[in-house]
Amino acid sequence: MAKVTIPIDYVNPSDVLTFCVYSMCQAKFEVTLRTDAGETIFTAKKNNDDPNFKDNTDKRQFQLTQLKKSWEDIYLDISNNLNTPLQPQTMVSGILKNDGNIAGYITNVCVEDQTDGDFQDIFITIGAFRKKD
Q: Map residue 116 onto helix, strand or coil.
A: coil
Q: Which CATH class is domain 2-129?
A: mainly beta
**Most trustworthy range by pLDDT among 49-53, 74-78, 79-83:** 74-78
| pTM for this model (two decimals) | 0.91
Q: Which residues of 55-65 are buried (b: 16+ CB within 10 A; e: fewer)?
A: ebbeeeebebe
Per-residue pLDDT band at 58 (split at 50, 70, 90): confident
